[in-house]
Chain A
Amino acid sequence: MANFSKPNVPRFSVDVYQNEYLPEDGSDVDAIVTVTATGGGTLGGALTALRHHAPGEGPSAAVVLMVDCSGSMDHPPAKMRNARDATAAAVAALRDGVRFAVVAGTHVAREVYPGGGRLALAGAGTREEARQALRRLDAGGGTAIGTWLRLADRLLSAADVAIRHAVLLTDGRNEHEPAAELTAALDACAGRFTCDARGVGTDWEVKEVTAIASALLGSADIVADPSGLTADFTRMMETAMGKEVADVALRLWTPAGATVRFVKQVAPSVEELTGRRTESGPRAGDYPLGSWGDESRDYHVRVRVPPAGLGREMLAARVSLVIPGADGGVRGLGTPGLVRAVWTDDLAASTAINPQVAHYTGQAELAQAIRQGLELRRTGDIDGATAKLGRAVQLAGALGNADTAKLLAKVVDVVDAAAGTVRLKAAVGEADEMTLETRSTRTVRVKK
């Protein structure tokens, strides 16, 4: 998959933050692993910004844009117009030489440009042709997102490129195919390309859109006001063009007798990875991390090890980054990070909680409290919702999630943020609630 001949693969570094000291009978080891990729975009030394690759100098990439063209996109009519404009802006942001296609999604998927199961090569001419083709897009039909994803997969798999990416825009629920169809399509596409998903308006299902982005290792967001689509699509495409290497995996070695309790991404957003493990050797497993440009992400790893006795030291996990090759071989990226366990009878040492671990434990609880609170609110459990959202307000304040705190304040009246005392608002805008839910997993990093 990955094109190893390219010299511009970023350098990866792994930093481990943990309190390695455990009490005599302690067995759970927590660590925050910060993975940072740098240097991917400095081609030839002269070009610095990632998104300003000269033609043909960036990593080979292919992008498919999926635009919802169901009947509801005409209500209001501006929505379809905004979607067309946003898609055109995304095409304009493509680097020269990138392969691309546009798909119109209804109850079936239809190639809008270039058609014939091919991908176009981005350039002045093809961008203009795509823009013309987008003008002919109109709304009508249902929504079956699984069929869109399968078409995108067919188109992308035909290209011999390093980075495969898709963008999906929808405004409604996936109501013209069984839910299992979408799940099956996601399973089929996982690991084959990455996908950012966007919900426009307020008639779509947050869980569907976030599930797509989660399964395909992309981002999810709401664009409540269709006029904001163009700016969002441009930003999204710039990020996609910054990716340098695809199919990166986090390889976790743990000793015999140890159990991996969980592996989750905790920054820039909470993403559960535990269940996505594929065994990669004795006592080792790989967790997919998707595509990387110049960026840094944090992961929370918890491993349960058999206690070894006071004064003993054990390696609880070794964390490395790899690119699994098509031939079964792997390419390692950088020096592994070591997660250690040291048993001590020094209570001051063993009871200390690493600040990074504490911070991200709080971030994960915050995301969960928001989701549970909104769910309870929908089911009419006012007390439960008040308690959960109050806890969320408290955590957001204490942990410095300013953006999340603002979103929460649109759903609840904050009486005392520090104590977590809130009242549910009687009337809450649908867009505000969906924004809060969609962005509940976004985290902030520890203030250094």
Chain B
Amino acid sequence: MPRQAAVPRCPGCEEPLEPGDRYCGACGYDLSAVPAPPPDHPTLALNGSVPAPAGGVAWPPAREPEDPQRSAAAHTPADLPGTDSGGSPPPAPPPPPRAPAPAPGQSSGVRLDRPREPEEYPLQAPDPRRTPAPAAPQAPAPAPAAPPAAGDRVCVACRAGRVDHDGYCENCGHAQPRERDHMEQEYGPVAAVSDRGLRHHRNEDAFCVGDTTLPDGAPAALAVVCDGVSSATRPDDASLAASRAAADALLAALPRGVHPQQALHDAILAASHAVNALAEEPATAREQAPHQNAPACTLVAAVVAAGLLVVGWVGDSRVYWVPDDRAAPPARLTEDDSWAAQMVAAGLMTEAEAYADERAHAITGWLGADAYELEPHTAAFKPDRPGVLVVCTDGLWNYAESPGEMARVLPRDAAARPLHAARVLVGHALDGGGHDNVTVAVVPFPGPPARAGSA
């Protein structure tokens, strides 16, 4: 079962507290009057904010591969020849992804390999019913700490009015904190934190973390992070559906021995189907606006299994690699589907020029029914040393864009305390202004199996 991270909350405003706080950092509530919060990982319920039951229980039966041309062979990553990185691509599908040693010390060795991908990914006739519908995140959450019963709660904004049944204060009208405003989860070796930020009225990011085992018993850890596209309708639903569908697909495929890179590719397609299906659902009455457009989100995912490190993405959410040995250079493992990245790739602008442009963050790839052509990018790496993957939305990397900056912000004990590390990174984004929703997953990479424990 997932271990829920326990966060003591301010009794006044429900803001998460740090151990040792004497006053709430958000509202100034005097905490000396309440019992000191437990120091670490207590088992308090966390405002009902666990995003998804990420694994550990009965998963849906394994799905057949969606693309008949890319049948998923059952083999374990450990079977792959890890040393033929310079060799020619394997001839027949499914291409066993070459997994060359990325030698993270080399500055340019980021994009090492990708499996040969078909020209396009047919997405016809997706069956939206096959993907689990996202449970309503607004389902009444177990109330935090020891609040009065629902309908009898005191407003966190004015502390004078009661919260009405529609979630607003009957006195000052302020909306009450919602469960997705701040979510934390720790699962196996992986942890993730998501926060609404300081400028947006809701959290449109979502994540799923989990771990499972390969057929040979080797552990596999995974994290999926999605960022809803704000200009689309129901971006929060899109990110939730995509992250759950991708995680479900991975947790079903990996134990069957599907190669992680293939599994991740399929998982992105599954996520795409889940988001497309949202466009077919009738909108709620409140959002029956004349300017509807299809729900959409980005997706980035990372899988760590048997010495292999696989990332996959659509959009501008990223994965950073930070070796435990901080003398070794960190790296960014993903290439944004964004206007700025395209400009740089085409040689039309320098990186500085491109990212200074107001169009820099316009994304050119996303999951959604209105996406032109889905291009799931995946890449596999075989690092020669242990480290940590930072899987994040632009709400974080806007405040730590370069791998070096990201490495400086990431605590040195990130592999041992991933939840703490994720909190620190989210805190960094909030301290920087919190202009967007912030979501961070921290996935430790234990190092090559042969030399596990070394470094």
Contacts and interface: CB of A to CB of B under 8 A. Distances in A.
A390 B230 CA distance: 42
Nearest to A339: B173
Contact of A313 (B160, B166, B175): B175
Interface stretch (B127-135, B198-206, B258-266): B198-206
Contacts of B173: 254-256, 258, 305, 314-316, 341
Contact of A311 (B196, B285, B286): B196
A21 to B, nearest CB: 9
A313 B156 CA distance: 13
A345 B201 CA distance: 10
12 contacts: A15-B285, A255-B172, A256-B173, A258-B173, A282-B170, A283-B171, A311-B200, A311-B201, A312-B174, A314-B168, A315-B166, A315-B175
B235 to A, nearest CB: 13
Given A255-B169, A338-B166, A346-B230, A311 B197 contact: yes
Contacts of A311: 196-201
Interface string A176-213: 00000000000000000000000000000000000000
B166 A256 contact: no
A282 B199 CA distance: 31
Contacts of A313: 174-175, 201-202
Interface string B154-172: 0001101100001011111
Interface in A310-353: 310-316, 318, 336, 338, 341-346
Interface in B317-351: none
Contact of A310 (B168, B170, B199): B199
A313 B173 CA distance: 9
A116 interface: no
Interface residues of B, number: 25
B68 interface: no
Given A310-B199, A315-B169, 10 more contacts: A256-B158, A283-B170, A308-B157, A311-B198, A315-B166, A315-B173, A338-B166, A342-B201, A344-B199, A344-B201
Contacts, number: 66
A341 B173 CA distance: 10
B158 A308 contact: no
A257 interface: yes
Nearest to B290: A355
A315 B172 CA distance: 8
The 3 closest A-B pairs by CB, nearest first: A255-B173, A315-B168, A313-B175
Contacts of A314: 168, 172-175
Contacts of A312: 174-175, 201
Interface in A253-267: 253-258
A176 B196 CA distance: 69
Interface of B: 157-158, 160-161, 166, 168-175, 196-202, 230, 285-286, 290, 435
Contact of B198 (A253, A310, A342, A355): A310
Given A15-B285, A315-B166, A257 B201 contact: no
Name, among A257, A313, A345, the residue most crowded by chain B CB atoms within 10 Å (CB to CB): A313
Contacts of A343: 201
Contacts of B169: 255, 315
Contacts of A315: 166, 168-169, 173-175
A344 B172 contact: no
A308 B174 contact: yes
Nearest to A345: B199
A316 B168 CA distance: 10
B165 to A, nearest CB: 10
Contact of B200 (A255, A283, A344, A355): A344
Nearest to A16: B286
Contacts of B290: 355
Interface residues of A, number: 29
Interface string A223-261: 000000000000000000000000000000111111000
B161 to A, nearest CB: 7
A283 B164 CA distance: 14
Contacts of B174: 255, 308, 312-315
Contacts of B160: 256
Contacts of B166: 315, 318, 336, 338
A400 B54 CA distance: 55
A256 B169 CA distance: 10
B394 to A, nearest CB: 15
Contacts of B202: 313
A104 to B, nearest CB: 51
Nearest to B285: A15
A215 to B, nearest CB: 32
A256 B158 CA distance: 10
A283 B157 CA distance: 17
B212 to A, nearest CB: 37
Contacts of B286: 16, 338
A47 B174 CA distance: 47
Contacts of A15: 285
Contacts of B158: 256
B13 to A, nearest CB: 12
Nearest to A21: B201
Contacts of A336: 166
Nearest to A338: B166
A167 B306 CA distance: 87
A305 B169 CA distance: 14
Nearest to B435: A345
A256 B199 contact: no
Residue of B168, B170, B198, B201 with most chain A CB atoms under a 10 A cut-off: B201
Contacts of A355: 290
B144 to A, nearest CB: 19
A312 B170 CA distance: 16
Contacts of B172: 255-257, 314
Nearest to B288: A15
A186 B23 CA distance: 61
A343 B157 CA distance: 15
A254 B161 CA distance: 13
Nearest to A314: B173
A282 B164 CA distance: 14
B178 to A, nearest CB: 9
B364 to A, nearest CB: 19
A315 B165 CA distance: 12
A283 B160 CA distance: 14
Nearest to B175: A313
Q: Which residue, A253, A308, A315, A318, has most C-beta atoms of chain B within 10 A?
A: A315
Contacts of A341: 173
A310 B174 CA distance: 13
Nearest to B181: A311
A67 B358 CA distance: 70
A311 B436 CA distance: 10
A344 B173 CA distance: 17
B154 to A, nearest CB: 14
A253 B161 CA distance: 14
B161 A256 contact: yes
A344 B230 CA distance: 12
Nearest to B157: A308
Contacts of B285: 15
A316 B174 CA distance: 9
A294 to B, nearest CB: 20
A25 B435 CA distance: 17
A193 B199 CA distance: 51
Contacts of A255: 169, 171-174
A346 B230 CA distance: 10
Given A15-B285, A310-B198, A343-B201, A256 B171 contact: yes
A357 B168 CA distance: 24
B151 to A, nearest CB: 15
A345 B198 CA distance: 11
Nearest to B197: A311
Nearest to A17: B289
A15 B197 CA distance: 31
Contacts of A254: 173
Contacts of A344: 199-201
A254 B172 CA distance: 8
